[in-house]
Every structure is written in structure tokens, then in C-alpha cells.
Structure 1
Amino acid sequence: GYAFSPAVSGTNTAIDSNPNATTGLTPPITLVAGQNEPTIDAGLWQPASLGDLVWLDTNQNGIQDVGETGVAGVVVTLFDSAGNQIAVTTTNASGNYLFTNLTPGTYSIGFTPPTGYIFSPAGQGGNPTTDSNPNINTGRTGLINLAAGQNDLTVDAGIFPSSALASLGDFVWLDANHNGIQDPGEVGVPNVLVTLYDGSGQQIAQVPTDGTGHYQFTNLRPGQYAVNFTAPAGYNFTSQGQGGNPALDSNADFNTGSTPLVTLVAGQNDPTIDAGLWQPASLGDFVWNDTNRNGIQDAGETGIANVVVYLYRSDGTLLATTTTDSNGYYLFTNLVPGSYYVVFTPPAGYIISPPNQGGDLTKDSNPNSNGQTTTITLVSGENNLTLDAGMSLQPNSGGSGNPAPITTPPAFNPPSGTPTQTVTTTPEPGTETPPVPIVTPTPEPDSGSSGVTRTVPYILKVADRETVYSGQVVKFTITVVNPSNTEATNVVVTDNVPDKLVVKGATTSQGNVTVKGQNVTVDIGTLAPGATVTIVVTTQARDGIVGSVSNTATLSGEQDGILFTQSGDTTAVATVTSIPKLPNTGFKPAESNPLERWKPSTASTVQEGVSDLEMFGKPLSSDQTTWANHASLPALQPGAGPVMPVRLRIPALGVDTEIEGVGLRNGAMDVPSNIWNASWLNTSPRPGDVGNAVLAGHKNSVHGSAIFMELGKLQPGDKIYVSDMYGYELTFEVFDVQSYLLQDAPLGRIFGPSSEKQLNLISCDGNFIREQLTYNKRIVVYTRLSTNN
């Protein structure tokens, strides 16, 4: 079992082998007297061998299964590590081969399959003695290391007829009606890129669809595959798996364009792997002042701005709301092919022209007298700009008018906001009263008043206050709702906060928040059926803020092929208005009488739908009777609702002072900047809201006593009065007064939630601790909203 090593290898005679590798004899050796020759050595080694089987892999699984037989006459070639051919043999009748008497070293094997046969997949099953080793394309194995005496009988090859290869295809079509089914007349889409992947996700091949929208992948080995379609720009994938017929449905996921895994067996051709595409449609376009009421867009007739237009699906589901632009145009975009109708809401005093006049679809008016059009069907990519509405002022209109803005001259600087008044006009006797148009409610999803059930996600947004001072914290709560039984994907909310506010942070109940400067992005991801996500964006008003701040959030995503962006449901606006702490008149709000307002007695009659200028005299003294053109209006009764606090009165203590809005500093409520002012924690509820509103004030200062020096003297039953900038005043009644050690103050009772409308007043109490620069106690006066408001 041993053989001699090659003789005289190397240059060192002390470590080489001397005998002939075949005979075992050394060359003659000459010794002289006294000589010792210690270099006559012999090396021995054991030969290695390598085999073993080429078999017919009838199920093409790359594993030597029971009953599968060897293939005779297959040529097998032995290569050294450098790729040089060493020996060639053929498999015997049992399919076996063997290379023997191999010197230990590195080798590889090459198999040459018979004509019409191909190799099975390599390395299957996890058992080296029963798998196939050669590369399926080259027939060569990897390098094999043989040690002395080793007999490696694990180098096998599975082969099968090439006729067992599979194929798949076949069609990408334009789904004009977006039903996910290949209907008669729907055409293929050429040049769509189609990519084939194996079961492990490795790309195998890539082809474009031909001129008729067809594609095919051939010569596929049995196994698992997936197909990915790349939608051309402006196209979307239709709904997956519709209609129950695999030969006519769409297999591509409408988000990714990828199909599920497909298993192919030997010789199979699967021609059912298809993809439907659609292009978003749009619908518009014009609302005009039909001055002659003939229902035709005549020369010189102009558009009407700010007309509210609603888009409905044919089943009555409200999908979107918009308003006409300054030229009277409107447009609904990104619409899924399908059936829709539009409802127009005419402005007050306008009636809708007769429909379908003149025979020109681009010039007529479409809605009936109730503002609703007939149902129209949009196909893929269609842009229908023929849904117009003519409107005109109705003669001698009567009834309650819209609020009319009152503009004040520069001499009087009221708080920000537009005062309004409502007027009523009466039609002249004997004039015709036209039909009252039906106004479709605006889409308020939680009101239940619209009479429709929405099935697409929508967004709501509210601010935690209506007015804001400089430095005050404003929180915007964004609610995303999925009312349907279908999940929405790729859901993203973007909130571009106006520069008048500084973004302080944002949180979400689902997904990830990214804040970059004024931009807040919330990646919600998948929104489950019936799910609600709450996002809170915290901002702070910049110094010197003036005017109104409108903060708009936008929702986008996909559901059932619907791209819900740029519609009424997917935008939400919350507005806050900056206000001064007191009107700039030098007097308290409504100092003489909180129920009185004044206007000039010479004001002209305000007509419905017509704005008019109302001149206010400049307040020159606290006696309004000295003002120019003064006249008392009917009493404006304040409600008992919450107020934005600007003034505090405590008659029992002789307190009548201003209220500052403050936030938190180092986790604690900040104090007023003026020792004679009170402060309201602007992250707490407003006075009159359900919950604990909190006011604080100083007890004293280095200069002596301060506004809440005698706060502890209040008794149950004493009254606290809080008013807003307009003079609306709420009454609170004391029901408890407590003094706590600083560390024992019940923060939950003072600042936490409450089911009542409470107002808590807090100040220092007890002894001053110089080391800590604070008092050791806190006095808290608990009050609740009086029922006499």
C-alpha cells in the first residue's frame, strides 16, 4: 500500500529520498576509510483515489434518490490545481468512475454530459455523498484536496434530459377599467421591463415585453421563481388576483410589482404570470357666472372663484373636496379608473343653470338644480374636462345671509381676527322664491352628518388653542384614520410648519418621525383596517408673531390601487391667531360694560353677499358716550365656554391683574415676569375647559409683597373671575384651600386630568429657605366653574 517518493528532490542530500521510485535501489555509494554516510534515506507515501457516480436525476432535485440509476459512458476528466488535464475515464455500466494512484494534492473533476442532457443543481440536500457536485453551466467541480491514502468517493454528478426544462410568461396589459381582469379590447403594453429571480432572490434574466405586451422566460430548471415588473413612468399596477381566473388576472403586487414565488416542475410552461397597469385619470373643470342663464358658456362670462366641489364614487362614497381657483377652474387628479359624479355647492344667492344646453359638452352646464351631475366613467389615463357648472345670482333673493366682514380704519387697532355680523334681507312682496339648493355637507368624518361611509383613509388636524401669544406653546394633533376593511400602505404624513412657529418636536403612535427644520415627516408604513394613528407636533410661537397661522398637514399612501394624495380627505388645516394681551386702546376690554359694542349710527344697510365698510370711532376715553357716532348694539351674551385668559379678578383680595401665558422651565411651571401679574400654564387646559387649568403668582419679592401675598386667605365660596381679550368673563368658585410641604404637593391633583372644569391657583407659602432660594410650602386654591355663568 506504500510507494517510494521521487528520488533526489531538492538540493539538500541530507533530507531527500535516494532510492529509485520504481525499484527501490539507490545509486552506488563510495565510502572511504573511516567515513560515515548518514544521507542515504527513503521516503514512502500512500496513493490517493477519487470517484464516484454519474446518475439520472429523474426528479431534477440534485439528490441521489432511491431508484435513480447510474448513467454509463459519461466522460470524466481529472485536472490538477492549475487546470492541466491529468487523466480521462468514462463511467462504467453502473455509472461509476474512479481515478487511482493519485499523488496527494489538489484536483478538480470535469463531467461531459451526453447530448441532450444537462446537470442537476449542485449541493442539494446537505449530504455530500448523495448530492451533485459540478457547476450546472461548466460541468466542473470545485478544487478537491486529497491527503496521502485518502479515497474520496463523494464527487458525483446528476444529469437529466434538457427536455425537462420549464418556462413561464406572459402578458402585461393596460387595465383600462381598473378591475384587475384582462377584459376584451384591453391591449398589451410594450417595452415593460420584466426581471426573473430564483427562489433565493438571485436575478436570473431580464427581458422587455414585445410590441403586443408579451414576454417569456425559457430553459428554466425546475424550481421556484419570482417575476418583477417595472411599471413605466406614470403607470400603476392594478389590483392583484381578481376574478378567480389565473389566466386573466394580474399577479404583480400593486406596490412592488413583484409576484409571489412560482414553482415549476420538469417540462412545465406557466403562461399565467401577468401584470395589469393603469394610468391615473382626472376630472374637471369650470364653474362660470352664467349671466344670461342659458346654460352655455358665452363669450365674456367669467369664472366664479371659491365654489366648493365634491367628488363622489358612483356608490355614494365621498372621495375628495376642492374649491375653484380664482378663474373658476377645479381639477381632481390621481383618480382610479371608474365611475364618479360631482356635486357643486353654489355660493349664497346663486342658482344653477339648466343642464345640457347647446349640444357642446365642453360649453354646457352639467349639474341638476341640486348641484349633482350624472355618473361618468373614467378609463385609464383619461382627462375629462367637460364637467362644468353655470351659476347666476337669483333675483330678489331672501333669507339669512352669510357673515359679512367689517373692516376698521387704521385709527382703531382691534385684536387680530375679522369681526363679522349676520344680516337678513326680505324679498319684495310678490317676488318669486326660487328653490333652495341642496348643499352637500362638508366631509367631517366623525360628525355622522354626511350620510356617507368613507372607505379611503383621511386625516384630521386640530390645534390645542385658537389664539397664541409670543413664546406660547402650540400643539397640533393630527389624526389619521383608515375607516375601511382594507389596509393602506406606504402611508406618510407631512407637516410643513409655518415660519411663525418653531418646531420643538413631534411624536407618533405608529411609525417613525423625522424633523428637519420646519418640516415634520411621519412614515407610518402600513395602516391596518380600522386603525387610527395620532401624531402630536409641538411648536412655539416666535417673538413678535402677528396675524393668523395656518398649519396644513398632508396624507399620502396607497389603498386598493388608490393614490390618496392631493384631495380634500388628505389635507387638514389647523389655524391659530396671534393676539395682544389687551386691546391697544389703553383700556380694559369692554371696560364700561362687557355686553356692549359700538358702531356708527350712519352705517349703510348691509346686503346679502355684499361686503361693506363699517367705520369705528377711535376710543378716546373710558366714557363711550363721548365717542364719535356711538350707538349701542343689542347685547352680545357671552357663553360659558373656555376663554383664553388675559385678566384675573379676585374681589375678596382686591386683585385685578393681567395674566401671562407661560410654559415649562426645567420640568416645572414658569413664573410670571411681573410680580403683579398672574401666569397661566399654557400647556394646561384653558379656564372653562374640562380639566385642571392652573394660574400661578408670586407671594413676594425683594421689593415686598406681590400679587398672591394673601392667596391663603380665600375661603370656600369666594369668587374668582377670569376674562378673555374680548371681555368675556367666567366665574369660578373656591371649594378647597390647601397648604402642602413642597415635596408633598399632589401634582396629579393640581396639574393632572379632571372630569370637572377646574381652575387651580398656586403660590409659595411657609418659610423661605435661603439655601434653596424658595419657600418650603405651596398654597393651592381649588376652584370650579360656577353654574351661574
Structure 2
Amino acid sequence: MKQRWIVGLFFLLLLMLAGGLKADATGNWEFSWMIKNADFENVNIAEYGRNAGQPNVWYVNQDGVEAWATSNPSGNIEVWQNGNGEHVPAFSGTNFIELNSDGPGPVYQDIKTVPGSTLKWSFAHRGRNGSDVAELLIGAPDNPLPIVTAEDGTVWNTYSGTYVVPAGQTMTRLTFNPVSTSHGNLTIGNFLDDVNLYIDVAGAQLGDYVWYDTNGDGIQNDGEPPAANVQVELYTKNNVLVKTETTNDIGAYLFTGLLAGEYHVKFINPDPSRYTFTKQKVGDENTDSDPDKNGNATANLASIRDFNATIDAGLTTIGSVIIHKVDQDKKLADAKFAVQDSAGTTVASGTTNEDGTVQIDGLTPGNYSIQETAAPTGYELSQARTPFTITYGQTAPVELTVTNQLKTGTLIIHKTNTKNQDLENATFEVFDEKNQSIAKIVTNKSGTATLNGLLPGSYYVKEREAPDGYQLKSDSIPFTIPFNPTTPVTLTVQNTVVPANNPVTPDKPQPKPATPVIVTPTITPVTVTPNTTADKLPETGDRSADVAQLLGLALLATSLLLTRRK
């Protein structure tokens, strides 16, 4: 089982046994002091036991007997239960043990103690078949000293006394050693039951434990060291200082002799530049840390006989994270970040300065992540979570770099004719300011073509293919995506139709011309027969002139004839 460091606090009595509070003859109050499994009831027989040869008698490996151990070479503790074959009843409860097990060996339990405190011990002893002898030794684990010898026959007897814890002894061992048996067999004899420790207190008490929470989880865990020399102040509810205590070498503090009422407990941080108080109120009241980040906790004492041993305080180191916000090589201010713990709870936040950095301090050990909650103007919000870890005793901040991307814009080209009718299937090519082609886009049935993801800057478009029947626009159309774009850039581009044959409807697309038909005329030659009856003129010149004259005379005669008829 897990053991808390506070188990040994003389004032805590954190693990008091049920019914362990009683008044003695002096009027003081006795509290059960840290003893566990006092009457051997917590035994795991099913997993660790085997029958010892008679009903309800078991050899149980020490791992199965809570809090107790043995130096028996076999490692077994012999556990008896009511209903055993020899009809021996338990002194308390239903279980007890026999010190002389399957081999001789003391049975012992280690308990944390506070030097200078006075403990009252008691136990019950009985012989098995006659007079058996055992002794109680108390002291440091490596130097137990004899306290009392118990010699008893077949009747239970009780023994008690006091023990003052020596200076420097923070661990005390109670050892029960079998000395002899009635018939000399060292495996038979010496029954033991109802082992108890008590501490005397006077008046109401308040106290608990201060420790170093090395994993920052707010819970007292095995191996986490106590915090010695921590000052603790006790105030009334009206903030009147009552007492001041300092934790001892096992982290314990105790206020005694108190009146009933409400109190304010203030734990003084020994080094605020290095430590902070751990998470508040995690787990149960016996293992948690009660004060807030300023070391303040509240407590209540119901009566003068009350004992409140639940006001613990955990100290842990603090670490930092530095966040660098950049756009490639540019540092970005006004980026807001939230720091979340492993449960997703926001524990801190910050905003980058003009240098693009923000430092978030006061982080206790644990696993965290950062999430951007607001991006600088003109930049996309980062959706990524960046994990990091704060370790106990961290001396240098964890440094993280988060890169933002500029917000991109959108280009919408609307293609129409001169009558503002939408035109589809117009192809455009988009170029950046370095004349690099970015994309080609084509208008849809609504006459629009869209291009997303354009970084701020200068661009231009060129029409590469016009809709059928329309003239291609040859000029470049410039446009600019602004910094921090909020709306799309829209360009309206009109096309004119190819000129049509019908002037009345010039916007009607001209159909493509048909392939021309080439007609070759047929020429019939004319044969002219010369008049042989006429007088033949001398061939003194070109005869073509004579022919022309004859034709002219014929035409003149025809004209005169027509005139007369009219």
C-alpha cells in the first residue's frame, strides 16, 4: 500500500484507527498513533496464504499481512482465526497471530515518529499450550531496545507502557520477539493480538503536513520529500495571530491547546522566486493541499477536544514558457495565447509584445499545451496545439515558436457580354507580380470563375480563351489582394461578339462562314466567217479595227430602228 510521508507526523494522527480516541485518567485525550492493522484483521489469505494443518490456521506471506513484516526465514506470518482446531479465541476481532510460525522470527512494524514525543503502547499476549514468553522491543530499526517481557499461560493478558522518542529518531520499530515456549518447540507458541500506540493531547489541536510536490499534481505521493523549517501561522477568523509554528524534519506542524472556533492558517512560502503552493483541494482531505496560491487556508475546531489533522500544504517549483510569434522571419505582436493543462483547463494566458514574444510564469510541474486564441491583424488563426512540459526545479524557460500565415484573399471574375448576360467557358490565366503563372480558371454557367488562397500582393489576369462567338480580350487586367482581406476582389470582364451580317442585331453571334465555292465560267469560242463577196481592201493595217467599225454601225442601226417604233 502507498504510504504518505505524513504518516509519521506526531500531531497529524492522520491515519487514526476507528475508535482510537479516548480520555485517560489525567483528562487528556488519547489518539491512536499511526499503528496499522493493530489486530491483524487485514490479511489476504486467498492470494498469499496456505493452510497450516488445521482449520482456520494459515501460513501467510508477509506481503499479505498489511503493515507487518517478519524476519522468519520463510517470510511467513502464522495467522489464526476464530473457529480454529484448538478453540483459541481472538482477543480483538476474529484474527490473531502466533509468533512462533513455521520458523522462529520476530514480527515487527515501522512507524514514523517525531523526536521528543511520548507514545503509549499496549498489546495482548497468550500462551498456546502453557507458559510462553515473548518480549517487546522499541527503537530505531537498526537498534531496537527491550521494553517489556510478557509471560503468559493459556489466558490473554494485556501489557501497556510509555515510550519517549529519542532525538533524531523519525522512524521507530515495534518488534515482538518469541523468546521461549512451554514445550520448547520454537514453531509452536506465543499468541499476539491488539497492538496499539496512543499519544496524549491536551485541548483542541490543529495541524498536518507540508511537503514538496515534485510532480505538481497536488497529491501527496510516495517518495515526495517533507518540507522542513516552513513557518506556519495560526490566526483567528478575525485575523488575530494566535501562534506560530515551524515544520519539523518530517514536515510536521501542530498547534495545541486551542479553543473551539474558526481559524485561518497561513503557510509562509520559503522562497517565492522558486516555489509556489501546488494545486488546491485535489483528491481527498488526507492527501490534498489546502492553501491557495498565497498560502492561505481555513480550518474549524468544533470543540476543545477536537483534533483537525487535515490542513496539508504542498510546495512545488515554478517554471515559465516563452512563446515567439513569427511570420517566417517577421516578429508579430498582439497574438493572444491560452496555456492549458493536461485536463484542457486554461491556467494562464498572454499576448505577444512588439518583439513578438510573451513570457508566461508561475507554471507548476506538469504537461501543458498552448493554443492561439487571437491572431495578429491580417493573419490566420493557428489551429495547432503546441505541447510542452514544465519539470520540477526548472531553471530556464521552455521556448516555443509559433508561425502564422497571412490571411489570403479571393478573386472572382464575372464574365458578361455588352448586354450584361453571363458568359461561360471563358478561360483566364492569373499571374503574380513576378509574371509567374499561378492558375487558370474557367467561368461557369453563372459567368463566374473563382480563385482562392491568394496572398496579399499585386496580380494580373489575361483572357486565354473567349466564349464561342465572342472576341478575345487581349489586354491584361491588374488587381490587388489587400493586407487583411475581408471581401473577395471582383473583376467584371465584358466580351463583344464577332461582327454579324445582320446590322439590326449586332450582338447576335456571327455564325462561322461557310467554305467558299469557286465557280469556273465556261467560255464558248465565237467563229467569225469573213464576207467573200465584198471588195477586198488592201491589207495595209490591223483588221481588228475594221471589225470594230462594223460592230459600231450595227449598233447605230439598231438604235434608230427602236426610235422609230416608239
TM-score normalised by L of structure 1: 0.32
| Greater C-alpha Rg | 2
TM-score normalised by L of structure 2: 0.43
